[in-house]
Amino acid sequence: MSEDQNITTTMDVDTAFLKSKRGILKLAEMVTLFVAFVCFATASRSEHIAATFIELLITSFLLLLYLLKLNKKFTLFFWPLVDAFNSVFAAVYFLVLSFIALRTYAFTGTLVGGIIGFLSAGLLTVDTYTIFKNITFNKPRNETQNQVSQDMT
């Protein structure tokens, strides 16, 4: 019984992920989503606030998932594919949301939020591209590793 109490669990933090292209991209997405959220909040546009805040939460969750290496512990889902689908739907949604915000703005906050929303949609599109570029379907593992090592050089 005393042996069980002496066992400590540690949480690994993947600091290399934050320095990678995908990590920097996720952080940039979070910054632009937060700025758009603040802009929409100052303009009191509740429909824009809710959408931006939900995507900010989802992006934060995925960043923590990769940062704490929880994607390797919770293998029920194929997390890169979940991340890719989120990025695709969020990019399309933010394009539409930004068009609406720019078309119907009455306050400067809505205008700036729409412009930052376009920037977020661009970052989400780049994120989708990088994820789908790295996801391989039905390829042998050694071909994939060779391709990834060639892409990194």
Let me know if residue 77 belongs to a domain.
Answer: yes
DSSP annotation of 89 reads H
pLDDT at 143: 56
Report yes or no: 87 and 128 within 8 Å, Cβ to Cβ: yes
Instruction: For the chain, list residues with pLDDT below 50.
Output: 1, 152-153
Let me know if residue 8 belongs to a domain.
Answer: no
Domain range holding 40?
A: 14-148
Let me know if residue 24 belongs to a domain.
Answer: yes
pLDDT at 141: 58
CB atoms within 10 A of CB 150: 8
pLDDT at 8: 59
Dihedral sign computed on CA atoms, order 58, 94, 29, 106:
negative
Query: In this structure, what token pair is assigned to residue 76?
Result: 């029920």
Rounded CA gap, 133 and 21, in Å? 13
pLDDT at 138: 65
pLDDT at 61: 94
The number of folded domains in the chain is 1
pLDDT at 142: 60
pLDDT at 109: 87
Let me know if residue 5 belongs to a domain.
Answer: no
Let me know if residue 6 belongs to a domain.
Answer: no
Q: Using one digit for the tens of pLDDT, what is the confidence trace for 103-114? A: 988 888 889 999
Let me know if residue 69 belongs to a domain.
Answer: yes
Nearest in space to 48 (alpha carbons), one of 101, 92, 99: 101
Mean pLDDT, rounded, of the chain: 84
Let me know if residue 7 belongs to a domain.
Answer: no
pLDDT at 84: 92
Q: What is the pTM of this model?
A: 0.79
Let me know if residue 3 belongs to a domain.
Answer: no
Query: In this structure, what token pair is assigned to residue 21?
Result: 């292209």
